[in-house]
């Protein structure tokens, strides 16, 4: 690779590094904030309130923040989001050190910080197609690299958070989050250039309310994007039910306190390797058949395995294999979306998709909890697998998928 080639790829590498640094900080926050809320108030309701303060802004920011990102520009929006998120997070340990951090202040700061996360993530993702063109890298490979960085950052951040909470406490651990945002900010300012976006005759440039909902309107009017969104919305709700309700209950039923951690680690490790492998394979395989097959393996098989209840070592191997299938799904989806979405409304569409997907998460958890209460864990797991298959059959086929 020549010096010129390296320089052309530097902005893309810097963007991915900034995204990874930001996600490390978010992973630390996910671990530290609930523990800090419990430390301040001492009740389970405080932890629940912290969870609401962390998740609701994702929906709101995703629905409303994309229009702002498209308006001010991807690079500038990512800089503003990282700076503001870092400042709000930094205020938490600072106030905690002076004894001026009641629960309401913690919740307000967490809400404000997470409100900017969805627009910030959309702003970074929106820069990928142009930086790929500059670097001479395919969208599939860049999307796989982004997914690999994201999953690695989440694993690293969670591990760092556990260590910091044990050593310095939950509030001081958030200094690491502020540092992560500062690193992301510095990388973007120094190494990621301002992009000139192409616009076409079909570009939606409306202002006001019409501009605000342009992302949702594009989704509704584009059959393939709508199919992708509906499929991911429904399957993500089911997956969230598995992570938050079904797998914890299954682990508790085994009587092995380490079972849940091992199950999550195997799934996450497999997904990380799967995403990296897709970066090597790229688009050498037919995209739509691969997409459907991966969804079946990653979504249906885990529920069947838990319903059968094999020995734990066998279950862990199955979950690792399913994680391998999970890893390429986001790169497949992202590379398809990048080809379809006009640059001028890219952030709005990506933010609208994130908001819709996040909105289904609590519904999945609630339905799973109600189902387990009504019919028991094993029947619920079997029903989950059946529902997953029904969703794939209902949303994953048809003429609209020809351009995937």
Mean pLDDT throughout 262-285?
81
Q: Between 266 and 296, whose confidence is greater?
A: 296
Structure tokens at 384: 């989950």
Mean pLDDT throughout 79-90?
89
Q: Is the pTM of this model over 0.85?
A: no
| Contact between residue 348 and residue 203 where contact means Cβ atoms under 8 Å apart | no
Best mean pLDDT range from 95-104, 171-180, 380-389: 380-389
Mean pLDDT throughout 234-245?
82
Q: Kindly write down the DSSP assignment for every residue of 158-176, as one continuous string.
A: HHHHHHHHHHH-HHHHHHH
Indicate if the pLDDT at residue 389 is higher than 50: yes
> How confident is the model over 51-81, as pLDDT tens digits?
677 767 777 776 677 777 877 788 888 898 8
pLDDT at 336: 85
Please, what is the end-to-end C-alpha distance for the chain in angstroms? Answer: 32
Structure tokens at 21: 């640094």
pLDDT at 62: 67
What structural domains does the chain harbor? 3-192 (1.20.1250.20), 214-401 (1.20.1250.20)
Taking alpha carbons only, the member of 164, 158, 187 closest to residue 21 is 187
Indicate if the pLDDT at residue 301 is higher than 90: yes
Report the C-alpha gap between 172 and 183 in whole angstroms: 18
The pLDDT confidence band at residue 190, using thresholds 50, 70 and 90, is very high
Report the C-alpha gap between 367 and 237 in whole angstroms: 9
> How confident is the model over 350-360, as pLDDT tens digits?
877 877 777 77
Q: Between 214 and 345, whose confidence is greater?
A: 345
- Rounded to whole angstroms, the maximal C-alpha distance in the chain is 64
| Contact between residue 258 and residue 314 where contact means Cβ atoms under 8 Å apart | no
Counting Cβ atoms within 10 Å, is residue 282 exposed (0-12), middle (13-18) or buried (19+)?
Answer: middle
Count of beta carbons in the 10 Å neighbourhood of residue 6: 11
């Amino acid at each position: 690779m020549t010096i010129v080639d390296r320089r052309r790829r530097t902005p893309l590498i810097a963007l991915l590094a900034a995204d990874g640094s930001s996600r490390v900080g978010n992973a630390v926050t996910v671990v530290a904030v609930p523990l800090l809320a419990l430390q301040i108030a001492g009740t389970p309701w405080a932890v629940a309130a912290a969870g609401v303060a962390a998740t609701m802004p994702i929906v709101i920011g995703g629905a409303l923040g994309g229009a702002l990102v498209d308006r001010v520009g991807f690079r500038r929006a990512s800089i503003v989001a990282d700076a503001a998120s870092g400042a709000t997070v930094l205020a938490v340990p600072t106030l905690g050190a002076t004894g001026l951090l009641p629960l309401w202040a913690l919740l307000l700061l967490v809400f404000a910080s997470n409100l900017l996360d969805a627009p910030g993530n959309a702003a970074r993702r929106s820069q990928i197609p142009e930086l790929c063109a500059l670097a001479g890298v395919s969208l599939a490979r860049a999307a796989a690299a982004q997914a690999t960085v994201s999953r690695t950052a989440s694993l690293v951040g969670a591990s760092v958070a556990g260590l910091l909470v044990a050593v310095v406490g939950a509030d001081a651990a958030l200094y690491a989050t502020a540092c992560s945002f500062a690193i992301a900010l510095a990388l973007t300012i120094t190494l990621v250039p301002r992009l000139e976006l192409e616009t076409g005759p079909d570009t939606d440039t409306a202002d006001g309310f019409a501009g605000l909902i342009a992302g949702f309107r594009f989704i509704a009017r584009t059959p393939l994007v709508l199919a992708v969104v509906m499929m991911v919305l429904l399957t993500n709700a089911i997956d969230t039910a598995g992570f938050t309700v079904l797998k914890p209950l299954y682990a508790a039923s085994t009587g092995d306190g380490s079972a849940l951690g091992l199950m999550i680690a195997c799934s996450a490790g497999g997904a990380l390797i799967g995403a990296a492998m897709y970066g090597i394979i790229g688009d050498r395989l037919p995209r739509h058949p691969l997409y459907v097959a991966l969804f079946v393996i990653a979504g249906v098989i885990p529920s069947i395995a838990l319903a059968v209840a094999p020995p734990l070592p066998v279950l862990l191997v199955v979950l690792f294999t399913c994680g391998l299938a999970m890893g390429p799904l986001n790169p497949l989806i992202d590379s398809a979306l990048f080809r379809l979405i006009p640059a001028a409304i890219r952030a709005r569409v990506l933010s609208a998709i994130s908001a819709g997907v996040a909105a289904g998460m609590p519904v999945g958890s609630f339905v799973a909890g109600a189902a387990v209460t009504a019919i028991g864990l094993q029947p619920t797991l079997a029903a989950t697998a059946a529902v997953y298959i029904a969703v794939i059959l209902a949303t994953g086929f048809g003429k609209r998928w020809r351009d995937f």
